[in-house]
Amino acid sequence: MNIRSQKTSLSGSICVPGSKSHTIRALLLASLADGISRIKNPLPSADCLSTAAALPLIGSEVDLNLSPDGESGSEWTVSGAGKNLHLPTDVVNVGNSGSLLYFLSPIAATFEGFSVFTGDESIRKRPVFHVVDALNQLGAKAACSVPKAKTCPLVIQGPVTKNHVVTAGEVSSQYISGLMMAAILMKGGITIELTNPKETPYLTMTQKWLEKVGVKCEISSDYKKISVEGPVNLKAFDASVPSDWEGVAFPLIAALITDSEITIENVDSSGTQGDDAIVELLKSVGADIDWNKKNQTLTVRGLSKSKDGIGRLTTENLPGGELHANLSGYPDAICAVAAIACFIEGKTVIEDIAVCRRKETDRIKVLKTELEKFGAEVEEGEDFMVIHGHSPILSDGKANPEFKLHGALCDSYADHRVAMALSCLGLGLPAGEKTVVSGAECCSVSFPHFYELMNAIGANFAEC
């Protein structure tokens, strides 16, 4: 599907779906528990549905409460396998879900026997060598099925027999969360030493979930040591999934680069998602954002609708006149931050993002390629990006002659966040300029009905 976007203004309210990260953790832990768990406000995205489809392979049952037209319900029930949990009974195809791959494979390694993990073309390009190494340290036998490869298919022979692992935290936080959850099934639990922790808010999220279901988990203040008790017999639980900050980022940036005023509802104010740091990041360059944590709403005003009637985003009041965005704690924000950086007057340095090369795509390379199609000035480093942006307006509200972004034909690379970022970027271009994003249907991976929900507040995205 190709999506066309062009200059517009937004108004009204939008409610972002539940968090993918929370939903998948809830599904997995409910599957390990005895009894029936109820999960409210789950995210019915492709990744979460892949998880729901995979969990019966280890003995649980997931009811999505489908409507007559096949839409997932607002509350899912999981009949946990509990004491009857077992080795996957078939090859686990995770689809496009790295979370499912990295979470479930350590759990599968706790059982005697062989398990095999694979996925779509994108997953089969993502690294699993760090999982292989960690599981081998723990006494299992793990390997990539293709000789000398570092990617799926992943073959594991369990069970794990040891309780201590040393691993490099910068590759991904997801398999570390998987090891933390696997400890529930391990005699003596697990101790994990991380040599270079990254994406640490996600480790805290996993810790909070483990504590919620009664598992003792300790993380050192520097995140270099994690210990989880085990084994633990989990009991069923009820949980409500908070909204997804990774999804909030896109209507947020869309409003800031257009003459818009919107309210984003059901915003997670719990502090368990590191991506909420994007609010202070954007406010530091002058973004007009009001976060009402009591009412769980964000009110966002852009350009002429901002309080000063101008809405110019600029780095001029920051140290050195530069915006330094360290995304080590929330690297999935790179697509949204890179897109809006093109509309910020001054230099934006997006730092500590090496992990972004190992996501659905090499997001650093892809974003440089695609943003340059719009006329953006972008530099690329191994673990950073530099964007020399221009506001479309001067400080007096007049048009900025240095703002030269234009329309483009661009590619999503089947990466959901790239698709949403490029589509939103098109909304802030000058009148008459159009953007077409190919492969835009991939948004369903994390934000089902993204284009329909955005159109309800005036985005006017059109299929072409």
Q: Which residues are catalytic?
A: 332
Q: How open is the CA angle 375-4-355, to the nearest 5 degrees?
A: 60
Phi, psi (5° rounding) for residue 213? -95, 10
Peptide bond into 231 cis (omega under 30): yes
**432 φψ region: left (φ > 0), alpha (ψ -120 to 50), beta (else):** left
Nearest C-alpha neighbor of 405 from the set 436, 371, 381: 371
Which residues make beta-bridge pairs with 71?
A: none
In sign, the C-alpha dihedral spanning 79, 85, 86, 91 is positive
Nearest C-alpha neighbor of 464 from the set 446, 439, 447: 439
CA distance 205 to 19: 12
CA distance 121 to 236: 35
CA distance 311 to 230: 53
CA 85 to chain centre: 28
Phi, psi (5° rounding) for residue 116? -130, 135
DSSP E strands in 274-432: the ranges are: 288-292, 297-301, 322-326, 346-351, 377-380, 385-389, 408-411
Please report, for the chain, how many H helices and E strands are present, in that order.
12, 24
CA distance 216 to 184: 10
Q: Tell me, what amino acid is at 65?
A: N
Q: Tell me, what amino acid is at 432?
A: G
Count of alpha carbons within 13 angstroms of residue 326, beta-carbon side: 5
Collapse the DSSP code of 46 into the 3-class scheme (helix H, G, I; strand E, B; otherwise coil) and give the result. Answer: helix
Q: How open is the CA angle 294-299-304, to the nearest 5 degrees?
A: 160
Contact between 110 and 160 (Cβ < 8 Å): yes
Radius of gyration of the chain (CA): 22
* Tokens 């590191």 sit on residue: 274
CA distance 445 to 450: 10
* Tokens 């835009």 sit on residue: 440
